[in-house]
Amino acid sequence: MSGTGENGNKPEGSGIRMFGTGSKSSANGSFDPNKAPERKQPASGKKADDRKKKYGPTKRSTSAGTNKKPGAKPWSKAPSAKALGTGTKPGANAKPETETAAKRQSKPAETVGKRPAQSAQKPAETGARTEARSTAVGRTPAQSPTSAREAVKAPQRSKPTSAAERVTAKKSGSAGEASRTKPIPGRGDSDRSAGIDAPGSGRGGEAPRRRKMQVTAREAALNVLAGVDESGAYSNLLLNRTLQQAELSPADAGLATELVYGTIARQATLDYFLNLFIKSGVKRLNPWVRGLMRMSLYQIKYLDRIPPHAAVNEAVEIAKKRGHQGIASMVNGVLRSVLREGDVLEIPNDLPTNERIALQHSHPQWLVERWIAQYGEETAEAVCAANNEPPKVSIRINSLRGSREELLQELTDEGRSVRASELSPQGVIVESGGNMANDRFYRDGRFSIQDESSMLVAEALAPEPGMSVLDCCAAPGGKTVHIAEKMKNHGRIVANDLHEHKQKLIAEQAERLGLSAIETSVGDALSLKDRFEQASFDRVLLDAPCSGFGVIRRKPDLRWAKTPDDAAAIARLQRQLLSSVAGLVKPGGILVYSTCTIEREENQRAVAEFLRDHADFVAEPFDIPALENIPQAGGAGVQILPHQFGSDGFYIARLRRRG
Ligand SMILES: C[S@@+](CC[C@H](N)C(=O)[O-])C[C@H]1O[C@@H](n2cnc3c(N)ncnc32)[C@H](O)[C@@H]1O
Beta pairing partners, 652: 594, 638
Q: Given this model, what pLDDT does residue 432 score?
A: 84
Q: Which one is predicted more confidently, 519 or 567?
A: 519
User: Taking CA 527 as the corner, what is the angle to CA 525 and CA 532, rounded to the nearest 5 degrees?
Assistant: 95
User: Taking CA 226 as the corner, what is the angle to CA 223 and CA 227, rounded to the nearest 5 degrees?
Assistant: 80
Centroid of ligand 1 to alpha carbon of 604 (angstroms): 19
> What band does 167 get if pLDDT is binned at 50, 70 and 90?
very low
E strands along 272-372, which residues?
none
Q: Which of 379, 385, 341, 336 is nearest to 359 (CA)?
A: 385
Centroid of ligand 1 to alpha carbon of 475 (angstroms): 6
Alpha carbon nearest to ligand 1 atom 1, residue: 2
Q: Which one is predicted more confidently, 264 or 50?
A: 264
Q: Is 177 in the pocket of ligand 1 (CB under 6 A)?
A: no
Residues 469 and 483: their CA atoms lie apart, in Å, by 9
Provide the percentage of residues in the chain whose pLDDT is more than 70.
67
Centroid of ligand 1 to alpha carbon of 4 (angstroms): 9
Centroid of ligand 1 to alpha carbon of 471 (angstroms): 9
Of 497, 515, 530, the one to substitute when testing ligand 1's pocket (max ligand atoms within 8 A of C-beta) is 497
Alpha carbon nearest to ligand 1 atom 12, residue: 473
Residue 281, amino acid: G
Q: Which whole number is the average pLDDT over 488-505?
A: 97
> What band does 625 get if pLDDT is binned at 50, 70 and 90?
confident
Q: Which one is predicted more confidently, 92 or 454?
A: 454
Q: Given this model, what pLDDT does residue 615 score?
A: 97
How far apart, in Å, are the Cα atoms of 361 and each of 92, 272, 419, 483? 25, 12, 30, 37
Residue 231, amino acid: S
Centroid of ligand 1 to alpha carbon of 229 (angstroms): 27
The tally of CA atoms less than 13 A away on the side-chain side of residue 170 is 18
Q: Is 477 in the pocket of ligand 1 (CB under 6 A)?
A: yes
Q: Is residue 119's pLDDT more than 90?
A: no
Residues 631 and 374: their CA atoms lie apart, in Å, by 13
Residues 616 and 611: their CA atoms lie apart, in Å, by 8
How far apart, in Å, are the Cα atoms of 452 and each of 422, 517, 645? 9, 24, 9
Pick from 263-267, 334-338, 543-547, 627-631: least confident: 627-631
Q: Which of 322, 345, 332 is nearest to 274 (CA)?
A: 345
How far apart, in Å, are the Cα atoms of 488 and each of 303, 463, 466, 484, 492? 46, 10, 9, 6, 11
Of 448, 483, 498, the one to substitute when testing ligand 1's pocket (max ligand atoms within 8 A of C-beta) is 498
Residues 657 and 591: their CA atoms lie apart, in Å, by 8
Q: 217-344 domain in CATH 3.40.50.150?
A: no
Q: What ipTM describes this predicted complex?
A: 1.00
Alpha carbon nearest to ligand 1 atom 23, residue: 498
Q: Which whole number is the average pLDDT over 375-384?
A: 97
Beta pairing partners, 172: 94
Range 464-469, long-range pairs (CB < 8 A, 24+ positions):
464/491, 464/538, 465/490, 465/491, 466/490, 466/491, 467/491, 467/492, 467/538, 467/539, 468/492, 468/493, 468/494, 468/536, 468/537, 468/538, 468/539, 469/493, 469/494, 469/537, 469/538, 469/539, 469/540, 469/541
Pick from 140-154, 286-300, 594-608, 641-655: least confident: 140-154
Q: For the chain, report the end-to-end CA distance as a whole number of angstroms.
A: 28
Domain 454-657 in the same topology as domain 393-449:
no
Residues 246 and 200: their CA atoms lie apart, in Å, by 10
pLDDT tens track for 54-63: 433 333 333 3
Contact call for residues 495 and 480 (beta carbons, < 8 A): yes
Q: Which of 216, 213, 233 is nearest to 224 (CA)?
A: 233
Alpha carbon nearest to ligand 1 atom 27, residue: 475
Q: Which one is predicted more confidently, 386 or 34?
A: 386
Q: Which one is predicted more confidently, 129 or 496?
A: 496
Q: Given this model, what pLDDT does residue 137 score?
A: 24
Report which ligand 1 atom has the smallest distance to the Cα of 545: 10
Centroid of ligand 1 to alpha carbon of 545 (angstroms): 5
Centroid of ligand 1 to alpha carbon of 123 (angstroms): 21
Q: Given this model, what pLDDT does residue 597 score?
A: 97
Q: Is 572 in the pocket of ligand 1 (CB under 6 A)?
A: no
> In terms of CATH, what superfamily is 454-657?
Vaccinia Virus protein VP39 (3.40.50.150)
Burial of 237 (0-12, 13-18, 19+ CB in 10 A): buried
Q: Given this model, what pLDDT does residue 632 score?
A: 57
Instruction: Annotate 548-604 with three-state secondary structure.
Output: CCCCCCCCCCHHHHCCHHHHHHHHHHHHHHHHHHHCCEEEEEEEEEEECCCCCCCCH
User: Could you write out the DSSP letters of every residue in 173-226?
Assistant: S-GGGTTS----TTSSHHHHHTT---TTT-TTSPPPTT--B---HHHHHHHHHH
> What band does 635 get if pLDDT is binned at 50, 70 and 90?
low
Annotated binding-site positions for S-adenosyl-L-methionine: 473-479, 497, 524, 543
Pick from 171-185, 455-469, 518-532: least confident: 171-185
Q: Given this model, what pLDDT does residue 212 score?
A: 61
- The question of whether 596 is a catalytic residue gets the answer yes
- Average per-residue pLDDT in the chain? 74
How far apart, in Å, are the Cα atoms of 216 and each of 15, 162, 315, 508, 539? 20, 33, 12, 34, 51
Length of the chain: 659
Residues 335 and 340: their CA atoms lie apart, in Å, by 9
Burial of 16 (0-12, 13-18, 19+ CB in 10 A): buried
Q: Given this model, what pLDDT does residue 551 score?
A: 97
Pick from 196-210, 253-267, 326-340, 349-363: least confident: 196-210
Q: Which of 429, 417, 307 is nearest to 35 (CA)?
A: 417
Contact call for residues 139 and 309 (beta carbons, < 8 A): yes
Q: Exactly one of 384, 472, 546, 596 is catalytic; which is it?
A: 596
Strand, coil or helix: what is 657?
strand
Q: Is 13 in the pocket of ligand 1 (CB under 6 A)?
A: no
Residues 165 and 205: their CA atoms lie apart, in Å, by 17
Q: Which fold has domain 393-449?
A: Alpha-Beta Plaits (3.30.70)
Q: Give kind and range of the element (H or E) at residue 32.
A: strand 31-32
Indicate the domain borders of the chain: 1-23+93-156, 217-344, 353-387, 393-449, 454-657
> What band does 631 get if pLDDT is binned at 50, 70 and 90?
low
Annotated binding-site positions: 473-479, 497, 524, 543
Q: Given this model, what pLDDT does residue 600 score?
A: 93
Q: Is 648 in the pocket of ligand 1 (CB under 6 A)?
A: no
Alpha carbon nearest to ligand 1 atom 19, residue: 524
Q: Which one is predicted more confidently, 72 or 512?
A: 512
Strand, coil or helix: what is 535?
coil
Q: Given this model, what pLDDT does residue 144 score?
A: 30
Q: Is 473 in the pocket of ligand 1 (CB under 6 A)?
A: yes
